[in-house]
């Protein structure tokens, strides 16, 4: 039996609009932004010190993956901020759609396998 599809558009639920204005989205937003902040704090602090103990190959791998991670997290933060701006009416959905090509996670690509490395100093 076929359903009449004429009234489907009027009864469609915009899941994302409901989600982006929910408490659950607010939790996801806070967790995502917290992840960005925690990662930045590690990379600027303890991670920087830890990387000094690596040999040249390890230090290059660490720097490369740190940049890749930072880029992805900034893209995550940008996406979260954009979704919140749409939900609060600061940005119109049409404007956001026109700008969607500005954030692309595929531009970064996947990391290459890293050759084994030796630490020049042992961590305590």
Q: What is the mean pLDDT of the chain?
A: 78
What is the SS3 assignment for 25-37? HHHHHHHHHHHHH
Distance CA(17)–CA(12), nearest Å, equals 12
Q: Cα angle vertex 95, ends 89, 97, to 5°? A: 110
Domains of the chain, CATH where assigned: 20-98 (1.10.8.930)
- Tens of pLDDT along 5-48? 555 556 676 777 777 778 888 999 999 999 999 999 999 999 98
- Tens of pLDDT along 49-104? 888 999 999 889 999 999 999 999 998 898 899 888 888 889 888 887 776 666 55
């Amino acid at each position: 039996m076929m359903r009449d599809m004429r009234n489907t558009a009027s009864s469609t639920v915009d899941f994302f609009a409901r989600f982006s204005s929910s408490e659950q989205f607010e939790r996801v937003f806070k967790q995502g932004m917290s992840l960005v902040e925690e990662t930045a704090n590690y990379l600027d602090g303890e991670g920087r010190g830890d990387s000094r103990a690596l040999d040249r190959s390890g230090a290059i791998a660490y720097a490369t993956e740190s940049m890749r991670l930072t880029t992805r997290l900034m893209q995550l933060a940008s996406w979260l901020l954009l979704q919140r701006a749409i939900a609060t009416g600061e940005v119109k959905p049409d404007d956001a759609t026109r700008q969607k090509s500005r954030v692309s996670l595929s531009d970064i690509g996947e990391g290459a396998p890293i050759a084994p490395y030796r630490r020049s100093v042992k961590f305590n």
